Amino acid sequence: TGTVEGAGSRRSCWSSSQLPEPNIWILQLPSDMEKVLSCFRRSPEAASRLICFPWAGGGSVHYARWGTILSGSIEVLAVRLPGRESRSRDPFFRNMLQIVDEVLPLLLPLLKEKPLALFGHSFGAFACFAVADALKRRHGVEPVHVFLSGASAPFSEIRIKAPKRSDQSDGDFLRWLTSIGGTPPELLENPEVLKLFLPALKADLHVVENFSYGKPDVPILSCPLTCFDGREDVPHDLQGGLKVRRSGSDRKSAV
């Protein structure tokens, strides 16, 4: 089996069970936030917040149930990137800096209110790391925890040298996507769904394929960091990734 670096794990990320239930109500965020951050279940008494970044081609809706599954002590918000959901008319981002520059100012006031952690899966893991890195570099603040799932280290040579797929024709891209597995056949065989899904997937892959990060000589983040990989997935190349984090505060788990 294979995985799209940035697109999700071998297990399906597109289960209908992840769609929001009708009785889930959305937190009314300030107007400058609600375009980018979604909260599908408000928990005003929550002790902390978890900000989630979607995988390539994904949207904030895929984290809708997390607010009901996780303890009421955690309020879950998800990043909504341009070119999908209510932002379908917005042009896709072309580089990671655009994601960082949009999300970062929205997190700063939230960091002042209560403890905040970040989670990202696959492509979202790279965006999550880039935002955490920028928070510390630009503002000297960090989340209380960073969770990264299904992704190689940002400075992995294997990742950097991997063939770029986002510029392929749709036909070639779909054949490659089918060959590596991990994407539900019903999605790949539905022209109407592909019309919505494929542009977002290729745009996000373009971002992650062109995201470069030099291997650090000193720790970057001092906050705890946990990495997850799927037991059925090809292991991702963390390449001595503990140099990115603080010794003794890092874990890797297979799920």
Strands 74-79 and 37-38: antiparallel
Q: Is residue 6 part of a domain?
A: no
Q: Is residue 4 part of a domain?
A: no
Q: Is residue 2 part of a domain?
A: no
Assign residue 166 the CATH number of its domain. 3.40.50.1820
pLDDT of residue 180: 81
pTM of the model: 0.82
Strands 145-149 and 225-229: parallel
Residues 6+ apart with CB under 8 A from 213: 130, 154, 155
Q: 3-state DSSP call for residue 209?
A: helix
Amino acid identity, residue 143?
P
* 148, β-bridge pairs: 120, 227
d(CA 81, CA 197): 13
Active site residues: 122
Tell me which H or E stretch contains 49: strand 48-53
Rg of the Cα atoms in the chain: 17
d(CA 190, CA 174): 12
Q: How many CB atoms within 10 Å of residue 210?
A: 12
pLDDT of residue 97: 97
Domain region containing 105? 16-254
Note down pLDDT in tens along the chain; length 255 residues: 334 565 544 433 333 333 333 333 344 455 668 899 999 888 888 999 999 999 999 999 989 889 888 878 899 999 999 999 999 999 999 999 999 999 999 999 999 999 999 999 999 999 999 999 999 999 999 999 999 998 988 888 888 888 899 999 999 999 999 888 778 888 888 988 898 889 999 999 999 999 988 888 778 899 999 998 877 776 677 664 444 444 345 555 444
Q: Is residue 139 part of a domain?
A: yes
Q: Is residue 8 part of a domain?
A: no
Q: Is residue 121 part of a domain?
A: yes
- Which region, left, alpha or beta, applies to residue 85 given φ > 0 means left and ψ of -120 to 50 means alpha? left
Q: Domain tally for the chain?
A: 1
Q: Is residue 5 part of a domain?
A: no
pLDDT of residue 220: 84
Q: Is residue 7 part of a domain?
A: no
pLDDT of residue 158: 83
pLDDT of residue 5: 60
The arrangement of strands across the sheet holding 116-121 comes to 37-38, 74-79, 48-53, 116-121, 145-149, 225-229, 250-254
Asked if residue 164 lies in contact with residue 190, where contact means CB atoms within 8 angstroms, the answer is no
